[in-house]
Each structure stands twice: as structure tokens, then as C-alpha cells.
Chain A
Amino acid sequence: MWRQISWAAGLLLIFAALGSAFLSAREESLREAPLLDVYFAHKDHNKVGCANCHHNYVDGTGRQYGCYQCHKEDETVNLLVEEQFHGLCRDCHRDLKHAGKESGPVRQCGACHKPDTQP
């Protein structure tokens, strides 16, 4: 009985150690990896309110130039970059499509994630 319990405890410890190592490696990778290229044309978004994306002009958070400065460098938010940007772009596109309106890509990764100079 004690042998089984010690085996189970040992396995649990190994899993906990592996899980912890995995989580820290993932966090490091998330913080250090460069952002993917994104094609974005302002002229395609002229019907969207500026503050919908440029929230720093309204709520006083963040810096003046570029989203990436905060969303990539600030450690309080840079782990959320994937869900924040996908949440902003993809969810807006999807909501518009649900409403039957014209919108940008919803799922195809390559339709947005391409060099900014390539329409």
C-alpha cells in the first residue's frame, strides 16, 4: 500500500515539475517572440471609430505611438497579446458578419497575417 502511495506521489511530483517547467518556458516564449506580420489598411476601417482601437487617446493609458509598445513591452499585458488582438480584430469582423454586413477575414490566418505592404 505504502509503495503504491509513494509511486503515486513520485509521479505527481514529476508531473508538477514538468508542468511548472512547461509553463515558465511558455511564458518566456510568449514574452520574447516577435509579433506576426499583420496587414492593416486604415482606409478599409474608416467606418470604425478611432477609439475602438486607439483606446489610449480616450482612457489615457498607453503611449502615443504604436500599439506594440505597450502590448509587447508591458509585462502586465504582453501575455495577453494574442487574445487582445484577435479579440479586437477577429471578433469585430465576426460580429459584423453575424450582422450580415461587409467585414474582413474571420478565420483564414494568412488573410491578415502577411506583410503590411502586401495588400
Chain B
Amino acid sequence: MTYKNKKPEAAKHKTLSLLLFFLGSLCVYLLMPYLSLLFFEPVLAGSYWDLLNGVGFVAFGLCIYLFIERARPRSWPKLKGDLFYWWHRLLAFALLLLSSIHGFGFLILEPVTWEYLSLRSPWYMLCAWLAWLFFVYLCLASIRPLKQRLHGGFLSFRFSHALLSILALVACLYHVVAAGFYFDRYAAWALFSLLLVLVVSYYALNRLGPKLSFSKILFGRDSKAHSQVGTSVKPILFIGLVLLCVLFSGGLYVAAN
């Protein structure tokens, strides 16, 4: 018996209250990091700079969210998966729009930033443009006729989609942190790297987990796998994740300095 058949709760997500709660939570999640930065950060640029950077932060939050939400049908069975396929694509196009506003807004309002279109642009800006190109490709390739033409089979699409999404996320992370506009301390690197590792791990566990029984081991949904591994291995797995985070964070910090 599959997991989907075990809990057919198709109608639940359609209730207005649940959707409103979901949308409200999403808005809070997307706006909270930037609003808290505006509140705690003593150095603000003013005028359209903070606004466009705010749009960029929301786009980055959306980028992270898209990893979590895509995997949700497995880990949050009360909400139907089909809704999230549609929602995922819609939000991806919103991400493309927001990142375009963020980038092209600066190009229009701050002509000096045209310098960032050249090869001599700093790495964190080149990464931003690379991530934006990935977003364009990911969105276009998700449209059905283009998807079939570009990829043919679903496996090819899934592999390239996962790979480019992760690369785009890492490029965005580097852009946000290495720009040093709002995060100029090691703590920012560590925090964002932790976030990134957790998100990608969550994504990987949910995507690959059913095949590798890894998510079952961690989350303990499968009693057989759970009993085979035992509780003593779980801390080791989580320590591994933390070490991965530290290595990743330190590596990025060294690379950027």
C-alpha cells in the first residue's frame, strides 16, 4: 500500500481557512527576514536601494521555500500533492519576476550597476546573473511543450531541474552573503549555510529518501527501518549534517575572503 493511498485527504487543502493560513504563513516567512534586517541593521541605504534589495530577499526566501514545498507532499500528507505542482510552478514564475525586478530595477535606477554586466564584475554579481539565467531556464523548461522539446523524457527533466535548482540556490546564497551589504560577519555565513544545508538535506531526504530508506531512518516512519538502525545512529547522522554545514560554511567563507 502506498503512502498516498493510505491517507486520501484530497479535500482538506481546499478549505478556505487552511489556504489562508498557508498563504499568511508564507507571506510572514518571505517578509520576516528582510523586515527583521531593516529593524536590527543600523546601516540602511535608503530610497529604492532597500526596496529593491527587499524584493531580492523575498525572491531568495522564495527560492529556498520552493525546495521545501516541492517535497511537502511526502512529508505533509494532509495536503494533496497535485496542488503543490501547480503552486510550485506559479511561485517559480513569481520568483523569476521578483529576481528580474531586483536585478533590472538596479540597472534602470542606478546606471553605474551596468558595470556589473561585464566580465570584470565581482564574483558575487556573476553568480547572481548565473542564478537568474538558471531561473529563466528552469521556468521555461517547466512549460509542457518546451519541456518535451528540451528534455524528452521525464528523467532528464528531473535530473537537470534538481541540479540547476541546487546550483541556482548556492549561487544566490553566495550573492546575498558575499555582497556584504547586509551580512558582513561570519555568523551570517554560518546561519545561511546552515539554512542551505538543512533545506537541501530536507529536499534530498524527501526526494531520494523513499528509494534509499534514508528519510525513513531519520523520521522513523518505517518501523522496520527504524528498528534496524536504532536510536544511536540518528545522532551520528545529525552530527554529520552539522559537520557538512560547518565545512560548507567555512569553505564558502575562505573562498570569499
A interface residues, Cβ below 8 angstroms from B: 22, 25-26, 29-30, 33, 36, 82-83, 94, 97-98, 100, 106-110, 113
Given the contacts A25-B119, A110-B112, A97 and B45 also touching, CB distance less than 8 Å: no
Pick the residue among A33, A106, A109, A110 that contacts B120 (CB under 8 A): A33
A94 touches B118 (CB 8 A): no
Query: For window 9-59 of chain B, which residues contact chain A by CB distance below 8 Å?
Result: 42-43, 45-47, 49
Pick the residue among A26, A94, A110 that contacts B111 (CB under 8 A): A110
Given the contacts A36-B112, A107-B49, A109-B113, A97 and B42 also touching, CB distance less than 8 Å: yes
* Sample of 25 A–B contacts (CB below 8 Å): A22-B119, A26-B119, A26-B120, A29-B119, A33-B118, A33-B120, A36-B112, A36-B115, A82-B122, A94-B43, A97-B42, A98-B42, A100-B42, A106-B43, A107-B45, A107-B49, A108-B45, A108-B46, A108-B49, A108-B110, A109-B110, A109-B112, A109-B113, A110-B111, A113-B112
Given the contacts A36-B112, A94-B184, A109-B110, A29 and B43 also touching, CB distance less than 8 Å: no
B112 touches A106 (CB 8 A): no
By beta carbon, the residue of chain A nearest B112 is A109
A36 to B112 alpha-carbon distance, docked (Å) = 9
Task: For the complex formed, measure the closest distance between the CB of B166 and the CB atoms of chain A, giving whole angstroms.
Answer: 17
Task: For the complex formed, measure the closest distance between the CB of A89 and the CB atoms of chain B, giving whole angstroms.
Answer: 13
A72 to B154 alpha-carbon distance, docked (Å) = 51
- A106 / chain B contacts, CB cutoff of 8 Å: 43, 45
A97 to B181 alpha-carbon distance, docked (Å) = 13
Question: What range describes how many residues of B lie at the interface?
Answer: 10 to 19
B interface residues, Cβ below 8 angstroms from A: 42-43, 45-47, 49, 110-113, 115, 118-120, 122, 181, 184
- B120 / chain A contacts, CB cutoff of 8 Å: 26, 29-30, 33, 82
By beta carbon, the residue of chain B nearest A23 is B119
Task: For the complex formed, measure the closest distance between the CB of B111 and the CB atoms of chain A, giving whole angstroms.
Answer: 7
A30 to B112 alpha-carbon distance, docked (Å) = 16
For the complex of A and B, the 6 pairs showing the least CB-CB separation, nearest first, are A107-B45, A109-B112, A29-B120, A26-B119, A30-B120, A97-B43
Task: For the complex formed, measure the closest distance between the CB of A67 and the CB atoms of chain B, giving whole angstroms.
Answer: 18
A107 touches B111 (CB 8 A): no
- B184 / chain A contacts, CB cutoff of 8 Å: 94
By beta carbon, the residue of chain B nearest A99 is B42
- A100 / chain B contacts, CB cutoff of 8 Å: 42
Task: For the complex formed, measure the closest distance between the CB of B171 and the CB atoms of chain A, giving whole angstroms.
Answer: 15
A98 to B42 alpha-carbon distance, docked (Å) = 6
Task: For the complex formed, measure the closest distance between the CB of B159 and the CB atoms of chain A, giving whole angstroms.
Answer: 13
- B42 / chain A contacts, CB cutoff of 8 Å: 97-98, 100
By beta carbon, the residue of chain A nearest B48 is A108
By beta carbon, the residue of chain B nearest A94 is B43
